[in-house]
Amino acid sequence: MRRFTHVNAGSIDEAISFLRRYGDRADIIAGGTDLLGKMKDEILPRYPEAVINIKTIPGLEFIKEEGDVLRAGALTRLEDIGTDSTIREKYTALAEAAERTASPHIREMGTIGGNLCQDIRCWYYRNPHNRFPCLRKGGGRCYAIEGDNRYHSIFGGSVKGGCYAVHPSDMAPALIALDGRIKTSKRTVNAEDFFEVGVKRTTVLDKDEIVTEIEIPLPKDGAKSAFMKFAIRKSIDFPIVNCAAMIEKDGRKVKAARICLNAVYVKPYRAAKAEEAIVGKAINEENAERAGNAVIADAEPLSGNRYMVQIAKTLVKRIILACN
Ligand SMILES: Cc1cc2nc3c(=O)[nH]c(=O)nc-3n(C[C@H](O)[C@H](O)[C@H](O)COP(=O)(O)OP(=O)(O)OC[C@H]3O[C@@H](n4cnc5c(N)ncnc54)[C@H](O)[C@@H]3O)c2cc1C
Ligand code: SF4
């Protein structure tokens, strides 16, 4: 690693003032499980001059229910989210996503804020010493289109149509399915609107803005949520495809559905066509299969990732059956 300045922020305001002072030359660090890997491998053209530690800010690590809203601070560790009894019982998809993320060690270090703000995992982008200065780093081309794209987007690209790197978070689709919001030092954003694709950018956050907490409204009576993940290994593996859903029923029929896939597109992918296909229907094999087929109607796989289409379809079918 190269030399950098490390500063401990004592408050949100202090973190913001450091971010303003250093501008583009600083990065926030929470658990460090994503950022430190990037720094060690020197993947980006610019190395951070300063790293601003937000773990020293008191009051950002909590889980509480206030009225009909669950709140969790940005520094809440994934392990605590995965094992919290209230989250497991009422906001099930979030707990299931947390307990399927990475490995026990990473869940002990990794925070919910860091998980939502983590960078992409495209192997060209992550190659050490900026060997592939691709579009997403401000360079001129995408190496994955003609290269090895087995883990890339099956629903098209972005950054002027060129980047096919998927968003890798397990927590993001669960938060979106549960209709969550993300609170920052400046505003509150629906989780669905939080993700944005650009050069060195995965969220809508301004350079002087940090995530402070997440909020989730209490699911309606009769609603059930779940999370599923397909990965090569059971532990310490990013999703090949993951999927979260919250389904509300009225008698035997589905009244409302929120279904979100991730790792299939450059941002978390709301499976709107599957939702349309299942609302008003009973949950059974046939209807769940139809919803799975609906979501992949828009798929445009690349040369090496057609297999992901089948996985996405199957996960959507299974998650609907799991929410019965
Ligand atoms: C081996 C390995 C396996 C992994 N497997 C998975 C997996 O299966 N699923 C998955 O979803 N993830 C996985 N991850 C990714 C990730 O490291 C963790 O999910 C973790 O939650 C990231 O949190 P952190 O606090 O360590 O983030 P950090 O590394 O501290 O930060 C990550 C990024 O977010 C920014 N950031 C952090 N907190 C904030 C904040 N409050 N406001 C604004 N910006 C912020 C940082 O500046 C940095 O750019 C894996 C990582 C590794 C190394
Ligand atoms: S998919 Fe995106 S991150 Fe990967 S090489 Fe192409 S432009 Fe770069």
Identify whether the C-beta of residue 162 lies closer than 8 Å to the C-beta of residue 122: no
Give the pLDDT of residue 289.
Answer: 98
Q: What is the pTM of this model?
A: 0.98
pLDDT > 70: what percent of the chain? 99
CA 69/CA 194 separation, integer angstroms: 19
Question: Which residue shows structure tokens 């400046």?
Answer: 186
Ramachandran bin of 52, using left for φ above 0, alpha for ψ from -120 to 50, beta for the remaining angles? beta
Q: How confident is the model at residue 40 (pLDDT cuts 50, 70, 90)?
A: very high
pLDDT tens digits, one per residue of 74-129: 999 999 999 999 999 999 999 999 999 999 999 999 999 999 999 999 999 999 99
Identify whether the C-beta of residue 137 lies closer than 8 Å to the C-beta of residue 130: yes
Q: In sequence order, what are the beta bridge partners of 153?
A: none
Give the pLDDT of residue 83.
Answer: 98
Q: Give helix 307-322 / helix 285-295 axis angle, nearest 10°.
A: 140
Q: In sequence order, what are the beta bridge partners of 203?
A: 195
Residues with CB under 6 A from ligand 1: 27-35, 37, 54, 74, 78, 101-102, 106, 109-111, 113-115, 117-119, 168-171, 205, 210-211, 236-238
Give the pLDDT of residue 165.
Answer: 98
Instruction: Name the residue of 43, 120, 122 whose CB sits within 8 Å of the most ligand 2 atoms, as the mutation to test its pocket.
Output: 122
- Stronger pLDDT, 247 or 159, i.e. the higher one: 247
Ligand 2 contact via 134 beta carbon (within 6 Å): yes
> How many C-beta neighbours within 10 Å does residue 92 have?
22
DSSP 3-state of 134: coil
Ligand nearest the Cα of residue 197 is: 2
Q: How confident is the model at residue 234 (pLDDT cuts 50, 70, 90)?
A: confident
Query: Closest Cα to residue 278, out of 229, 251, 317, 224?
Result: 317
* Closest Cα to atom 6 of ligand 2: 142
* Closest Cα to atom 3 of ligand 2: 125
Ligand nearest the Cα of residue 201 is: 1
Identify whether the C-beta of residue 144 lies closer than 8 Å to the C-beta of residue 165: yes
Q: How confident is the model at residue 235 (pLDDT cuts 50, 70, 90)?
A: confident
- With a cut of 90, say whether residue 131 has pLDDT above it: yes
Query: Closest Cα to residue 3, out of 45, 47, 61, 36?
Result: 47
- With a cut of 80, say whether residue 159 has pLDDT above it: no
Ligand 2 contact via 133 beta carbon (within 6 Å): no
Ramachandran bin of 286, using left for φ above 0, alpha for ψ from -120 to 50, beta for the remaining angles? alpha
- Stronger pLDDT, 70 or 159, i.e. the higher one: 70
Identify whether the C-beta of residue 93 lies closer than 8 Å to the C-beta of residue 178: yes
Query: Closest Cα to residue 240, out of 153, 117, 300?
Result: 153
* Closest Cα to atom 50 of ligand 1: 102
Mean pLDDT of the chain: 97
Query: Closest Cα to residue 82, out of 108, 48, 58?
Result: 108
Q: How confident is the model at residue 239 (pLDDT cuts 50, 70, 90)?
A: very high
Q: How confident is the model at residue 1 (pLDDT cuts 50, 70, 90)?
A: confident
- With a cut of 90, say whether residue 160 has pLDDT above it: no
**For 157-167, what is the mean pLDDT?**
88
Nearest atom (ligand 2) to Cα of 153? 1
- With a cut of 80, say whether residue 34 has pLDDT above it: yes
Q: Is the dihedral of CA 102, 103, 104, 109 positive or negative?
A: negative
Instruction: Name the residue of 163, 199, 265, 302 whose CB sits within 8 Å of the most ligand 2 atoms, as the mutation to test its pocket.
Output: 163
C-alpha 296 to ligand 1 mean position (Å): 29
Give the pLDDT of residue 305.
Answer: 98
- Stronger pLDDT, 158 or 248, i.e. the higher one: 248
